[in-house]
Structure 1
Amino acid sequence: MSLDFFKAFRTVFAKEIVDALRDRRTLLRLMIPSVLMGPLMLVLMSSLAASLQDRAEQREVLVAGIGHAPTLRNYIERQTYTIKAAPADYEAQLRSGKLTDPVLVVPANFETLLAGGEPATLEIVSDSANQRAEAGMGALNRLVQGFGNERAGLLLAMRGLSAQQLRPLDVQERDLASVQARATRLTQMLPMFIMMAVLYGALTAALDSTAGERERGSLEPLLVNPAPHAAIVVGKWAAVLMAGLMVAVLSNLSFLPGQLLMRSDALAAMFQFGWGEALRFLLLQIPLGMGLSAVLMALAIRTKTFKEAQASTTLVITAVALTPMVAIVNPGGEASWHLWVPGLGQNLLMMQVLKGEALTLAKVLPTVISGAALTVAGLSFVSRSMRAAVAR
Structure 2
Amino acid sequence: MKTKMWVIYWKELRETLRDKRSLGMLAMFTLFYPLMIGFMLHQGITKSTKTEREGIELAVIGGARAPTLMSQLAQKNITAKETAPMDEEAIGELLRSKKVPAVLRLPDDFTENYQAMRPARLEIWYDSASDRDRQRKDVEDVLEAYGANVANARLLAHGVSPAALTPILVQRYDTGTNASRSAVLIGSIIGILFFPAFMLSMSAAVDSTAGERERRSLEVLMAQPARTWELVCGKWLAASTLAIVGVTLELILAHLILGWLPLEELGMTWSLGWGQLLLVCAVTVPLALLGGALHVTLAMNSKSFKEAQTMISFVLLVPIIPGLVVSFMELKTAQWMYLVPMLSNQTLVTEMSKAGGIGALPFVLTFLCSAIPAVLIIAFASWRMKSERYVLAV
Whole-Å separation in 2 of the counterparts to 1:206 and 1:305 = 13
Alignment of 1:20 onto 2:50: no
TM-score by length of 2: 0.82
Q: 1:76 aligns with which of 73, 81, 99?
A: 73
Seen in structure 2, the aligned counterparts of structure 1 residues 27 and 161 have a Cα distance that, compared at 3 Å, is same
> What is aligned with 1:210?
209
CA distance in 2, matches of 1:282, 1:231: 26
Correspondence 1:42 to 2:41: no
| CA pair 238-67 structure 1, distance change in 2 beyond 3 A | same
Q: Which residue of 2 aligns with 1:161?
A: 160
CA contact (8 A) 2:272 2:355 kept: no
What's the offset of the Cα at 1:264?
A: 7.0
State yes or no: 1:386 paired with 2:382: no
2:279: which partner in 1? 280
Are 1:67 and 2:66 an aligned pair?
no
Unaligned stretches of 5+ residues in structure 1: none
Tell me how far 1:164 sits from its aligned partner. 1.6
Measure, in 2, the Cα distance between the counterparts of 1:254 and 1:90: 47
Question: In structure 2, how many angstroms separate the alpha carbons of the residues matched to 1:152 and 1:363?
Answer: 56
Q: Could you tell which deviates more after superposition, 137-146 or 117-126?
A: 117-126
TM-aligned CA distance change 1:326 to 1:143, over 3 Å: farther
Distance 1:144 1:345, change over 3 A: farther
C-alpha contact 2:191 2:345 (8 A) present in aligned 1: no
Report the Cα distance in structure 2 between the residues aligned to 1:136 and 1:327, rounded to whole angstroms: 33
Secondary structure, counterpart of 1:345 in structure 2: helix
For residues 296-324 of structure 1, the C-alpha deviation after alignment (integer angstroms, 9 at most, x for no partner) is 22222222333322211222332334543
Worse-matched range after superposition: 149-158 or 105-114: 105-114
Amino acid at match of 2:117: G
C-alpha change, 1:262 and 1:114, in structure 2 (3 Å) is same
Q: Deviations over 1:228-284 (max 9, x none)?
A: 212222222222222111001211222355468647784699334542243133123
Please state if 1:53 is matched with 2:49. Answer: yes
After superposition, the Cα gap between the structure-2 partners of 1:338 and 1:144, relative to the gap in structure 1 and judged at 3 Å, is farther
Q: Structure 1 pair 206/256, CA: closer, same or farther in 2 (3 Å)? A: same
Structure 2 match to 1:7: 3
| Contact 2:102 2:136 (8 Å CA) reproduced | no
CA distance in 2, matches of 1:343, 1:167: 51
Q: SS of the residue aligned with 2:58? A: strand
Kindly state the Cα deviation for residue 82 of structure 1 after the two structures are TM-superposed: 1.6
**Residue 233 of structure 1 aligns to a residue in which SS?**
helix
Tell me the distance in 2 between the aligned counterparts of 1:185 and 1:162: 45
Are 2:114 and 1:118 equivalent residues in the alignment?
no
C-alpha separation in 2, matches of 1:150 and 1:91: 31
Cα distance, 1:183 vs structure 2: 4.8
Q: Which runs of 5+ in 2 are unaligned?
A: none
Cα distance in 1 for residues equivalent to 2:296 and 2:128: 44
Q: What SS is found at the alignment partner of 1:287? A: helix
If you compute each CA radius of gyration, which structure gives the higher value, 1 or 2? Answer: 2
Per the TM alignment, residue 66 of structure 1 is displaced from its structure 2 partner at its CA by: 4.9
TM-score normalised by the chain length of structure 1: 0.82
Aligned-residue offset at 1:117: 3.3
Name the stretch that deviates more: 259-268 or 79-88. 259-268
1:174-222 Cα offsets, whole Å, 9 max, x none, are 3333233445576445323311232222222222222222222222332
Tell me, in whole angstroms, the C-alpha distance in 2 between the residues paired with 1:257 and 1:307: 38
Give the residue type in structure 2 aligned to 1:15.
Answer: K
Aligned to 1:30: 26
For the pair 1:143 / 2:139, whether they are aligned, the reply is: no
Percentage of pairs with the same residue: 24
How has the CA–CA distance of structure 1 residues 390 and 305 changed in structure 2, closer, same or farther, with 3 Å as cutoff? Answer: closer
Name 1:99's counterpart in structure 2. Answer: 98
Query: Structure 1 stretch 336-345 or stretch 114-123: which is displaced more?
Result: 114-123
Offset, 1:371: 1.2
Amino acid in structure 1 at the alignment position of 2:118: E
Query: Residue 283 of structure 1 aligns to which amino acid in structure 2?
Result: A
Q: 1:185 to 1:10 in 2, by over 3 A?
A: closer
Whether the 8 Å CA contact 2:181–2:268 is kept in 1: the answer is no
* 1:364 alignment counterpart: 363
